[in-house]
Every structure is written in structure tokens, then in C-alpha cells.
């Protein structure tokens, strides 16, 4: 009779999440994850090919959570502002995880950046006021609002600034207006 697995893939992912959420990817080791589960490292390597395989699975799980539970929340009904508020809210309520994913050298890297851009781009294309924007303008809109939101998120999650939601909305709206006005200026100059 085969031995029944005592530790499941989901339990390993949950433990890996806790390690990263509390200590960042610098603490993402088989030993630290095993210690979180009070077991040896063997179950990790039985379930995952290697630590990179586990990291990919963890990041996929986190991205799914962001896409289904965090980013779609509506505050104002304006897609770009809502995405910025949700991103900043995530950074503030999950400080260590936010830093691990978005700011650390060994965090989510290209995968999280690509996910964030794709999510933003797809959401914006569904909003009527942005449907006629070129790919370049969508990229400019993403970059401009991303820089503002990341600045706010980083400073707020560090406890350095404490803007109100209205102040954040205003900063994001001013960024949007500035970017869209540049598009109008460019179009007028042709």
C-alpha cells in the first residue's frame, strides 16, 4: 500500500506565501518553507522539481489573486484610477509582499511587470474613453500612472506619506490628463 501524502502542494504554496509575505524572496528557501510547515524539505522536492518551479507556481497563484480579487475592485468607476487605488491599497495592506513582488531584485521581475501591463492594457481597452488610443498611448498611460502609483505605494507602505483617497485620485487624474493632453498636442502638430 502506497503512503498517503501528508503535505499537499497547496500547503507548500501556503507556507511559501507566508515566508515571502513576511520576509521577501531573500527568505525563499526550502529550509525556511519547511520550517514554516514544521517538516523536512523532502515534501517540497517531491511536489516541485526545484525551488524555481515552486517560485513560478507561487507567483502564478499570487497573480491570479491580484487579477481576481484585488485589481478588479471598483471605487470610482474609472478604470485607471481604480487600478491605481487597488495597487496602492495592496501595497499598503501587504507591505512586505508588495516589496517582494514589485521592488526586490529577486521578486516577481519581468513576469509581474508583464502581468501588470497586460492587465492594465486589457482593462483600459474595455473603457469607452480609451478605446481609440494607440498602443503607444496605452503604454504611455500605463507608464505615467504606474510611476505615480508606485511612488505613492512605496512611500505610503513605508509610512512616509499618508495621502487621502481623494488626494490619490487627484494625483492619478492629473497624470492621466497630462498624458492624454500630450497625445492631443502631438495630434495637432501633424
Provide the CATH number for the domain around residue 23. Answer: 1.10.10.60
Q: Are residues 52 and 98 in the same domain?
A: no
Domain count across the chain:
2
Q: Are residues 87 and 151 in the same domain?
A: yes
Rounded to whole angstroms, the Cα distance separating 83 from 118 reads 12
pTM: 0.88
Q: Are residues 7 and 37 in the same domain?
A: yes
Give the pLDDT mean for 34-55: 96
Q: What is the pLDDT of residue 185?
A: 47
pLDDT at 187 over 90: no
Q: Are residues 46 and 89 in the same domain?
A: no
Q: Are residues 53 and 77 in the same domain?
A: no
Quick check: is 177 in a domain?
A: yes
Residue ending a domain, choose from 36, 58, 80:
58
Instruction: Please provide the average confidence, as pLDDT, over all residues in the chain.
Output: 91
Q: What is the pLDDT of residue 24?
A: 92
Give the pLDDT mean for 120-128: 94
Rounded to whole angstroms, the Cα distance separating 94 from 80 reads 21
Quick check: is 65 in a domain?
A: no
No. of helices (H) and no. of strands (E), the chain: 9, 0
Quick check: is 39 in a domain?
A: yes
| Residue 155 domain boundaries | 71-188
Q: Are residues 109 and 27 in the same domain?
A: no
Q: How far is CA 84 from CA 3, 72, 104, 111, 123, in A?
A: 48, 11, 20, 19, 12
Amino acid at each position: 500500500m502506497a503512503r498517503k501524502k501528508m503535505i499537499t502542494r497547496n500547503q507548500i504554496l501556503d507556507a511559501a506565501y507566508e515566508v515571502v509575505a513576511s520576509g521577501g524572496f531573500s527568505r525563499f528557501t526550502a529550509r525556511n518553507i519547511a520550517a514554516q510547515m514544521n517538516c523536512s524539505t523532502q515534501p517540497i522536492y517531491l511536489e516541485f522539481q526545484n525551488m524555481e518551479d515552486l517560485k513560478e507556481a507561487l507567483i502564478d497563484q499570487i497573480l491570479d489573486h491580484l487579477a481576481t480579487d484585488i485589481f478588479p475592485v471598483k471605487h470610482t468607476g474609472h478604470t485607471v484610477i481604480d487600478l491605481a487605488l487597488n495597487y496602492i491599497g495592496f501595497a499598503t495592506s501587504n507591505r512586505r509582499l508588495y516589496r517582494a513582488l514589485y521592488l526586490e531584485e529577486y521578486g516577481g521581475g519581468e513576469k509581474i511587470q508583464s502581468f501588470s501591463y497586460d492587465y492594465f492594457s486589457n482593462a483600459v481597452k474595455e473603457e469607452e474613453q480609451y478605446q481609440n488610443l494607440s498602443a503607444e498611448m496605452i503604454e504611455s498611460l500605463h507608464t505615467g500612472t504606474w510611476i505615480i502609483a508606485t511612488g505613492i505605494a512605496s512611500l505610503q507602505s513605508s509610512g512616509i506619506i499618508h495621502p487621502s483617497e481623494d488626494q490619490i485620485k487627484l494625483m492619478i487624474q492629473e497624470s492621466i490628463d497630462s498624458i492624454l493632453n500630450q497625445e492631443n498636442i502631438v495630434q495637432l502638430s501633424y
